[in-house]
Structures are given as structure tokens and as C-alpha cells.
Amino acid sequence: MVSIYKRGSRLYLQYTVNGKRKQKSTGLDDTPANRKYLRERVIPELERRIESGALAEEARRDEIPKALSHYAAKYLESKEHLKTYWELLQMVKRVEAEFKSTDVDKITRGMVRDWAMGLLKTISPTTTRKYVNVLGGILEMAKDYEAIQVNPATGIKLPGKTAPTRNRTPFSTEEVALILESAAGWFRNYLAVAFYTGARPGEILAIKPEDIDLKRRVIRIERNIRHGKVTTPKTAYSVRSVPILDPLLPYLRGQLMQAGEWLFESPRGGHYNGARKVMYHWQNLMERLGIEYRDLYTTRHTFITHMLMSGELSVLELAQIVGHKNAQQIMQSYARFINEQHLKISREIDPFNKKATDKVADTLG
């Protein structure tokens, strides 16, 4: 089964594993003593491992791809159906750039944690966790294909918030008025839709004229644009009808007069590929007005917060307008912005009003 042959002055062993012929150098010179040593000590052990299948298993494992890019491709293939595929693709590219020279079976938990700690210096803990999860997904794919036995990215603990959070403090009434007065053309109309509906940037860009019913005073939100692709909104609850409030009407009518297939059309025709173009105008406007910078998404937070403070509708109604799953989601996200509103209530309220008490008593009576 195992034979000895000579190449130059060195001894080699020849044998077959998984139907493939193997030739391995022993590193020994061709002498009678070395040949005897191989026959009596090395070859018996090698034949035992061949017969038991241990050598075949080792050979099989050696043939399994170890490059992280191999499993990154498989991971992406499994995510092609997701709306977030483009975002995942960018994250995978960053992961590959970090670990491209390291085989998956050489990646350790310490390496993963050090990488994550480095990310925390420039991005938020939430985003860092997303990157760790993407790496974990790739390595889990490698585990499924038996390239590794244990996923080193599983259970990595990260510290709390170490990066500054984005300022999304709602704009004041005065700031909203100043922003709308200072913007012009389609951009002012866009901002009016944003401030008076609380719709997300991609949802606004995906509105078509036929989605607007001025007679019923309703806008139908059923699409979203992200990275140039028209998809459905963020969640099932995000498909909704939004009431057109009085202050929005003139802006909406003005935009409808210049609309094409889309309410907000790119200068080159068709829809915008995403909010990047809007962000360019937004950043310039914030700088020109000297208003403390908040990102474009803050228009949504501003609408929700001011509607909560107005008391004109229930939290559940507001959740339905902005496409949240339930009222709890609204309160968890925005209650911090309406502190001390309870102190503004009328002091004339009497919870034990005699008329109210008598009415209840009569009902029970």
C-alpha cells in the first residue's frame, strides 16, 4: 500500500488516498538505516491511518476552500432577495478588505473583537454590531461547509455607546418656518412634504402624482427608493395612507404642476436614485441658515414630536400615519422630546368634578 522510492539522494513515500496518488518527501537520505526506520516505524502507522480513513478525512479538509471571499460570495447569494442587499454588499466589501489575507480557519475571537473595537472609534455601536453580524454570517457559512468548526464571531460582546450619537433633536416651530421660507422650488416642496407628513426620504421620492388624492386629501405611501431601486417601504406597516394637512396643500399643488411620472423628478428625467441629491441641498441650506445641523431624517422626528405635543390625535393614530407598528414604538422613540408637557395642562381640571361624579353615580345606580 505504501512504497519507498528514491529521488536524488532523498527518500520518498508513495501511497493512494481518495483515489489520488500522493508522493511525500520523508526528508531522510537514502541509507539502509533510514529505509529500515521507514519500514518498521513510519509506514505501519501511515497504513493504519489510511485504513481507518483518518488520512482521507484530512485530505478532504485540506481541499475545502479557506478564503473568506469564497464564503462571502455564498453569503451574499443567500441574501439577494433582501431589500437591504445593496447595504449588505457594501458591508461585506469592508469585511473582506479587513480579512482578505486571513483564511477563515485562522480568524480568532480576539481578531474579531479588536476589529470591532477599532470600528467603534468611527461608527456607532449599532452599526458596529451590524458589521460583526455580517462577518458572523460569512463565517457561519464557512462552518456549514466545514471549513471551520467554531464561529469566532459568535457571542462577541461590545461595550456600550462610545461614539457620539447623531443629533436628531426635533426642529422648533420657528426653525421649520425659517427652513421652508429659505428653501426654493422643488426642494421647498419636498421639505414641506417631509415636515407635514413625517414620511421617510425614500418614501417621498417614490411618490407618484396618482398617489395623491386632493379630493379626499390623502397621499398613498406604497413605494420606497433606495440606492436607485424602487421597492416597497421599510415594513408592511409602512404601506399606508397619509392625510394631507392644510399647510401642505399649496406646496403640494405647486409641485403637482411640475411633476412628471414622479412627484419629484430628476433633472435628467425619471426618479431620483436616492436621498443623496436631496442631502446635498439640505446640507447647504443648514450651513447657510446657521441652524445646528441635524440630518434629513430629522424632518420625520420633527413631525412626530410636534404632533404628539399638539394633542390633536391619539398616539395610535400618529403611529398609523408614520407607518409604525404600534403606539409603543412611538412612545419609546419620542417621549424623551416631550418632557414636562404635562406641566402645561390647565390647572382648572378637577378629576373629582361633582358633575362627573354624579353622572357616574347615576349610571351605576
How many CA within 13 A on the CB side of residue 273? 6
Give the Å distances, CA to CA, from 284 to 5, 117, 179, 288. 78, 33, 12, 6
In the chain, where the domains are located: 3-63, 68-144, 173-341
Distance (Å, rounded) from C-alpha 141 to C-alpha 70? Answer: 10
pLDDT digits (tens, 9 = 90+) for 165-220: 566 789 999 999 999 999 999 999 999 999 999 999 999 999 999 999 999 999 99
Residue whose C-alpha cell reads 441574501 in the numeric block: 79
CATH class for the region spanning 173-341: mainly alpha
- Whether residue 211 contacts residue 222, with contact meaning beta carbons closer than 8 Å, is answered with yes
Interacting residues of 213 by C-beta distance below 8 A, sequence separation 6+: 219, 220
3-state secondary structure 115-128: HHHHHCCCCCHHHH
- pLDDT number for residue 181: 96
Specify whether the backbone of 305 is left (phi greater than 0), alpha (psi in -120 to 50) or beta.
alpha
pLDDT value at residue 57: 72
pLDDT of amino acid 163 = 45
What CA–CA distance (Å, rounded) separates 313 from 327?
A: 12
Check: CB of residue 207 under 8 Å from CB of residue 263: yes
Task: Return the DSSP state at 348.
Answer: T
Burial of 11 (0-12, 13-18, 19+ CB in 10 A): buried
CA–CA separation, 275 and 297 (whole Å)? 10
Using 50, 70 and 90 to split pLDDT, how confident is the model at 52? Answer: confident
pLDDT at 37: 92
Relative to beta strand 218-221, strand 240-243 is antiparallel
Task: Evaluate whether 210 touches 259 at the Cβ level (below 8 Å).
Answer: no
Give helix then strand counts, H and E, for the chain. Answer: 16, 8
pTM above 0.75, yes or no: no
User: CB neighbours of 313 closer than 8 A, spacing ≥ 6?
Assistant: 307, 321
The strand ranges marked E within the chain are 3-7, 10-17, 20-29, 212-213, 218-221, 224-226, 229-231, 240-243
Instruction: Give the Cα separation of 119 and 125 in Å (integer).
Output: 8
What is the grid cell recorded at 140?
Answer: 457561519
Question: With bands split at pLDDT 50, 70 and 90, how would you rate the model's confidence at 50?
Answer: confident
Phi, psi at 245, each rounded to 5°: -75, 155
Dihedral of alpha carbons 286, 290, 291, 293, sign? positive
> Looking at the DSSP assignment, which residues form a beta bridge with residue 23?
14
pLDDT recorded at residue 340:
54
Reported as a single tens digit per residue, the pLDDT across 337-351 is: 666 555 555 656 666
